[in-house]
Amino acid sequence: MTTAPERTAYPPPGMPPADVVRVRDLAVVVGDKPLLVDVDLTVRRGERVGLIGESGSGKSLTALAIMGLLPEELHPSGSVVVTGQGPAGGERVTSVLEAGEPGLAAMRGRDVAMVFQEPMTALNPTMRVGAQVAEIMTIHGTVADRGAAAARAVDLLDKVGLPDPADAARAYPHQLSGGQRQRVVVAMALANDPALLICDEPTTALDVTVQALVLDLIVRGVQARDAGLLFITHDLAVVASVCERVLVMYGGRVVEAGPVLDVFTRPRHRYTRGLIGASDLDLTRPDGGLYTIQGSVPAAGRFPAGCVFRNRCTHATTTCETVPEWDGPGPEDGFACWHPVVHRG
Amino acid sequence: MSRLSRGAEALLPPRGRRSRLGVGATLIVGGGIVAVIAILAVISLVWTPFDVGEINAAERLATPSTRHWLGTDKFGRDVVSLLMVGSRTTLLVGLVSVGVAAVVGVPLGILSAMVPKWWGEVVMRANDLLLAFPALLLAIMLTAVHGQGVVTAMIAIGISTIPSFARVVRSGAIGVMKTEYVLAARAAGRRPVAIAARHVLPNVGSLVIVQASVSFAIAVLAEAALSYLGLGAPPGTPSWGRMLQEGQELLFVAPRLELYPGVAIALAVLGFNLLGDGLRDRFDPRLEDRR
């Protein structure tokens, strides 16, 4: 019997790169129902961070809160600070929850860009795609004029691998396939060289064969710009191939965080363990069935008090009626579980 | 429908009139009727069989003949010429009143879909108030203040058509506001006015066109009613509604003087309604695709 290997030190020693987004104690409520509770999240320049969890665990809501795009009836608290490039090459710091609409509009699409899930509906059906890409740049004045924007739009469409980019620029969205449309969306998101790219399940709606190409495009895009990437998905295999660090969300809370390899090979939170077990299709129960997490995600605001996972957890005890403390060196590495998985060698 | 695969869609029964012909029959018939009326109105600008301003006592109440195809009225004016010139009034009133309604109603509908929910409700309740106000009462009030005239009729009809535009556009715009491309536009830093103009308006355009066509039919009817009541076209301005009114006293002597303008009004209303239906059929599948 050997001892468990040391966990990878995180963050790595030395001067860390600048934060592009720093979320602290983010909570979102609708009426008296909590949707997000104490979410801490940091993405630095050049870093690729995954955000995983089942549907309804608060992943997309976290992304919308960072963009300042929460629906009007939701009320956020805490702090969300985005640091991007200012117009004169300096830094522009936006406190998203406090900033007014003009400040947010200046930030969105410039400092932070977002790729949505459905390429079929993410483009305006009545505008040519070239004009839609060019528009992103003219809004923020990152190009000299409309002519330059149109030329750069064609260039961007070429870079995302659309055949005949000049023709594609003149096409309407319905003339392109789903994969092609998602390439256009990626081109739009990268057009202004954002400091942070948020991808909300960008490949879920695509064919498996196209998925890899679009993922590659996203990763190369952020690497070339030394941008941060916040990647939301429930596909663990995608996270493993794209991200360096991962946060696991459940019930509007971050329940575990850490480097991808550690979290996936040695999960500590019972929920993470269940999630990984459920996505491993080679792993079968003694009766031949696949492992699942029993029950389903409760509706927003109906999560149990204490540990949000306890009504579905096979290890839950009365201790779990109190909220588990965060156990770990920092918000980027740790877990919140009273009965964590103990790893032996 | 759009959720089904193409294979599954092919198994479903064909969808009504549109399925066989590329363009629906309603669209062709409706468009045809409207086109004929429009062409007659344009021709009447440069030529009519007889001058409608000329009173000819010798030919009063002439029956249809090769000289006067549909006969003459009590002043001896040629009915064909009157109908042709009258179509101008009909189309002008329709165009201006629908134009007024669209120019006010469309932005109102988009605005009410984009402002916070509470404000949208306020706008729509005000809209309901206007909807509950009869067009005729509005026309009588405006006539009392500004005097009888085509312009008064156009404005009265236009104002009373605003609510239907606002309501249709609001429902469409609420749908568009929920789409990912609007969310994406906001995520790209697009300001609300630009989102309204470049993303919402073009995507409710088909709704506006259909509504304009249907409203046009209603406006034709409203104009005829107002002119008949003496609230629309003044004496001397040929209008189908006026022709109905002038022929009324001779209903039992020369019923054709009621029949012809009546048929013209009915045809015009039918034409615009069919055109509206045909356009709706034409646009609907594309609307579904966008969801």
CA–CA gap between residue B285 and residue B291 (Å, rounded): 10
- The 3-state secondary structure of chain B reads CCCCCHHHHHHCCCCHHHCCCCCCHHHHHHHHHHHHHHHHHHHHHHCCCCCCCCCCHHHCCCCCCCCCCCCECCCCCEHHHHHHHHHHHHHHHHHHHHHHHHHHHHHHHHHHHHCCHHHHHHHHHHHHHHHHCCHHHHHHHHHHHHCCCHHHHHHHHHHHHHHHHHHHHHHHHHHHHCCHHHHHHHHCCCCHHHHHHHHHHHHHHHHHHHHHHHHHHHHHHHHHHHHHCCCCCCCCCCCHHHHHHHHHHHCCCCCHHHHHHHHHHHHHHHHHHHHHHHHHHHHHHHHHHHC
Structure tokens at A291: 């492992």
* Position B58 in a domain: no
- At A249-283, the pLDDT tens digits run 999 999 999 999 999 999 999 999 999 888 877 77
Q: Domains of chain A by range and CATH? A: 19-243 (3.40.50.300), 250-335 (no CATH)
pLDDT, residue A6, reads: 55
* Position B16 in a domain: no
Q: Does B285 touch chain A (CB under 8 A)?
A: no
Nearest CA in chain A to B181: A122
Cross-chain residue pair B188–A109, CB shorter than 8 Å: yes
- At A298-328, the pLDDT tens digits run 888 889 999 999 999 989 999 999 999 999 9
Nearest CA in chain B to A108: B189
CA–CA gap between residue A166 and residue A157 (Å, rounded): 8
- At A98-147, the pLDDT tens digits run 998 889 999 999 999 999 888 778 899 999 999 999 999 998 888 888 99
Residue B89's CATH number: 1.10.3720.10
Cross-chain residue pair B181–A123, CB shorter than 8 Å: yes
Name every residue whose Cβ is closer than 8 Å to that of residue B41 and which is 6 or more positions away in sequence: B84, B87, B88, B90, B91
Reference B241, options B82, B101, B14; nearest CA is B82
CA–CA gap between residue A24 and residue B105 (Å, rounded): 45
Nearest CA in chain B to A121: B180
Q: Which domain holds residue B30?
A: 21-50+76-290
Tell me if ipTM is over 0.85.
Answer: no
Name every residue whose Cβ is closer than 8 Å to that of residue A75 and which is 6 or more positions away in sequence: A28, A29, A30
Residue type, B141: M
Which helix (H) or strand (E) element contains residue A147? helix A146-159
Chain B closest CA to A52's CA: distance in Å?
A: 21
- Beta carbons of B220 and B142 less than 8 angstroms apart: no
Cross-chain residue pair B291–A136, CB shorter than 8 Å: no
Beta strand A91-95 pairing with A112-115: unpaired
Nearest CA in chain B to A119: B180
* Position B7 in a domain: no
Which residues from A are below 8 Å from B when comparing CB atoms?
67, 69, 72-73, 104-110, 113-114, 116-118, 121-127, 135-136, 139-140, 174, 185, 188
CA–CA gap between residue B107 and residue B173 (Å, rounded): 10
CA–CA gap between residue B90 and residue A323 (Å, rounded): 74
Range B89-125 burial, b when 16+ CB lie within 10 A, else e: bbbbbbebbbebbbebbbbbbbbbbbeeeeebeebbe
User: Cα A114 to the chain's mean position, in Å?
Assistant: 9
Range B169-185 burial, b when 16+ CB lie within 10 A, else e: bbebbbbbbebbbbbbb
Task: Please list every residue in chain A whose beta carbon sits closer than 8 Å to the beta carbon of residue B202.
Answer: 124, 126-127
Structure tokens at B70: 């549909």
Chain B closest CA to A89's CA: distance in Å?
A: 19
- CB-CB neighbours of A159 under 10 Å: 17
The residue with greater pLDDT, A286 or A325, is A325
* Position B216 in a domain: yes
Structure tokens at B205: 């355009």
Beta strand A245-250 pairing with A333-335: unpaired
CA–CA gap between residue A119 and residue B108 (Å, rounded): 30
* Position B157 in a domain: yes
- Beta carbons of B64 and B257 less than 8 angstroms apart: no
pLDDT, residue A5, reads: 52
pLDDT, residue B217, reads: 94
Residue type, B12: L
Q: Does B185 touch chain A (CB under 8 A)?
A: yes
Range A306-343 burial, b when 16+ CB lie within 10 A, else e: bbbbbbbbeebeeebeeebebebeebbbbbbbbbbeee
What is the count of structural domains for chain B?
1
- At A40-61, the pLDDT tens digits run 999 999 999 999 988 888 999 9
Q: Does B193 touch chain A (CB under 8 A)?
A: no
Name the percent of chain A lying above pLDDT 70. Answer: 94
Cross-chain residue pair A114–B187, CB shorter than 8 Å: yes
| A·B CB contacts under 8 A | 72
What's the rounded mean pLDDT across residues A211-222? Answer: 92
Give strand pairing partners of A335.
Answer: A256, A327
Chain A closest CA to B123's CA: distance in Å?
A: 18
CA–CA gap between residue A50 and residue A225 (Å, rounded): 18
Cross-chain residue pair A108–B188, CB shorter than 8 Å: yes
Structure tokens at A281: 């299709």
* Position B278 in a domain: yes
User: Cα A37 to the chain's mean position, in Å?
Assistant: 17
pLDDT, residue A119, reads: 79
Chain A closest CA to B109's CA: distance in Å?
A: 19
Half-sphere exposure in the Cβ direction for A7 (13 Å, CA): 20
Cross-chain residue pair B290–A117, CB shorter than 8 Å: no
Cross-chain residue pair A113–B187, CB shorter than 8 Å: yes
Omega within 30 of 0 (cis) for the link into A298:
no
Chain A closest CA to B286's CA: distance in Å?
A: 10
Picking from B188, B199, B203, the nearest residue to A139 by CB comes out as: B188
* Position B71 in a domain: no
- The alpha carbon dihedral of A302, A307, A313, A315 has a sign of negative
The residue with greater pLDDT, A234 or B165, is B165
Which of B186, B199, B207 to probe by mutation at the A interface, max A CB count within 10 Å? B186
Q: Does B179 touch chain A (CB under 8 A)?
A: yes
Name the percent of chain A lying above pLDDT 90. Answer: 63
Nearest CA in chain B to A103: B189
Which three-class secondary structure state does DSSP give residue A151?
helix
Of A85-94, A331-340, B169-178, least confident by mean pLDDT is: A85-94
Task: Please list every residue in chain B whose beta carbon sits closer than 8 Å to the beta carbon of residue A133.
Answer: none
* Position B265 in a domain: yes
Chain B closest CA to A10's CA: distance in Å?
A: 32
What's the rounded mean pLDDT across residues A169-185? Answer: 92
What values do phi and psi take at A254, rounded to 5? -85, 115
Which of B180, B182, B190 to probe by mutation at the A interface, max A CB count within 10 Å? B180
Beta strand A48-52 pairing with A245-250: parallel
- The tens place of each residue's pLDDT in chain B, 291 residues long, gives 444 444 444 444 444 444 444 567 889 999 999 999 999 999 999 988 888 877 887 888 888 888 888 888 888 889 999 999 999 999 999 999 999 999 999 999 999 999 988 898 998 999 898 888 887 888 888 888 888 888 888 999 999 999 999 999 999 999 999 888 999 899 888 889 999 999 999 999 989 999 999 999 999 999 999 888 888 888 888 899 999 988 888 888 888 899 999 999 999 999 999 999 888 888 765 544 443
Chain A closest CA to B177's CA: distance in Å?
A: 11
Beta strand A253-259 pairing with A245-250: antiparallel
Task: Please list every residue in chain B whose beta carbon sits closer than 8 Å to the beta carbon of residue A84.
Answer: none
Residue type, B285: P
Q: Does B115 touch chain A (CB under 8 A)?
A: no
Reference B265, options B233, B232, B239; nearest CA is B239
Residue with tokens 């190409």: A213
